[in-house]
């Protein structure tokens, strides 16, 4: 990973805010500490910390977590801590009241076996009476930009004179899941252009399956929540598992 990964993460994920009201409401209901799984550069962590909650940000990318920690320090948010670890193997020093898994992170854990390992660790982390909340994209609509047809508008950012552009090209069904394809381009102040394809694979997963897996790990399913679809982002079902 390198510094550009922070820029791409912010560009492709950082502006999403449709789910923030739900995470704020859950944190207000259950209290802290809150464990944010797949925290990245802090989109949700910093929002909850600004609301007065103690938040532990977990991610396996040290570069993204370093950016998160720096942003927390700059904002004077003393209740933020970070843990660089795999979601399937992490260990905490103490229990949390709420564990949240935003933006389909649970669909990046390499199938049922990976999810089972995560749910086992989450069950150890969530205190009795606490809650695990997991967002899943269970209604992805396949699409592909055809040759010669108009392409979706890119997400664009500029930093130190370099322009970064990320354009969605496809959501493609593949082997029990979906592949999300984007084209990333950069243009330097000198006009040098570089381009690369970024692929993300999401496992197909429905709420009923995840609830059954949660029950097997010792959780009790609770009524689901919903994050609405926006023009730019797919909606999510949020599976709620009580500790």
* Residue-range domain boundaries for the chain: 3-138+205-242, 143-202
231 — pLDDT class (breaks 50, 70, 90): confident
How many helices (H) and strands (E) in the chain? 6, 12
Q: Are 45 and 20 in contact (CB under 8 A)?
A: no
Q: Between β-strands 193-203 and 177-187, what pairing exists: parallel, antiparallel or unpaired?
A: antiparallel
Q: Has residue 149 got a pLDDT over 70? A: no
Q: Has residue 151 got a pLDDT over 90? A: no
Could you tell me if residue 222 is left (phi over 0), alpha (psi between -120 and 50 degrees) or otherwise beta?
beta
Backbone angles phi, psi at 67, to 5 degrees: -65, -40
Q: Has residue 152 got a pLDDT over 90? A: no
Q: Of how many residues is the chain composed? A: 243
Return the CATH superfamily for domain 3-138+205-242: Vaccinia Virus protein VP39 (3.40.50.150)
- Burial of 151-172, coded b for 16+ CB within 10 Å and e otherwise, reads eeebbebeeeebebbbbbbebb
Is residue 147 helix, strand or coil?
Answer: coil
Q: Has residue 147 got a pLDDT over 70? A: no
Q: Please identify which residue in the block is written with the tokens 């040759």.
A: 147
The CA distance from 193 to 186, in Å, is 6
pLDDT in tens, 76-133: 999 999 999 999 999 999 999 999 999 999 999 999 999 999 999 999 999 999 999 9
């Amino acid at each position: 990973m390198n510094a550009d990964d922070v820029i791409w993460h912010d560009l492709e994920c950082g502006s999403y805010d449709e789910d923030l009201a739900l995470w704020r409401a859950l944190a207000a209901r259950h209290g802290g500490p809150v464990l944010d799984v797949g925290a990245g550069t802090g989109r949700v962590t910093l929002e909850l910390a600004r609301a007065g909650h103690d938040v532990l940000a977990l991610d396996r990318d040290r570069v993204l977590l370093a950016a998160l920690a720096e942003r927390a320090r700059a904002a004077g948010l003393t209740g933020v801590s970070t843990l660089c670890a795999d979601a399937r193997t992490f260990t905490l020093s103490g229990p949390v009241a709420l564990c949240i898994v935003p933006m389909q992170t649970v669909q990046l854990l390499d199938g049922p076996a990976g999810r089972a390992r995560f749910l086992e660790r989450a069950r150890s982390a969530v205190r009795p009476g606490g809650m695990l909340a997991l967002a899943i994209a269970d209604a992805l609509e396949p699409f592909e930009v055809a040759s010669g047809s108009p392409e979706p508008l890119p997400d664009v950012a500029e930093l130190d004179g370099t322009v970064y552009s990320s354009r969605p090209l496809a959501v493609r069904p593949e082997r029990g899941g979906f592949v999300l394809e984007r084209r990333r381009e950069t243009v330097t102040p000198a006009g040098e252009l570089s381009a690369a394809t970024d692929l993300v694979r999401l496992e197909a997963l429905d709420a009923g399956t995840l609830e059954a897996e949660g029950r097997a790990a010792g959780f009790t399913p609770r009524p689901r929540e919903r994050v609405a679809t926006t023009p730019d982002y797919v909606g999510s079902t949020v599976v709620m598992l009580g500790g």
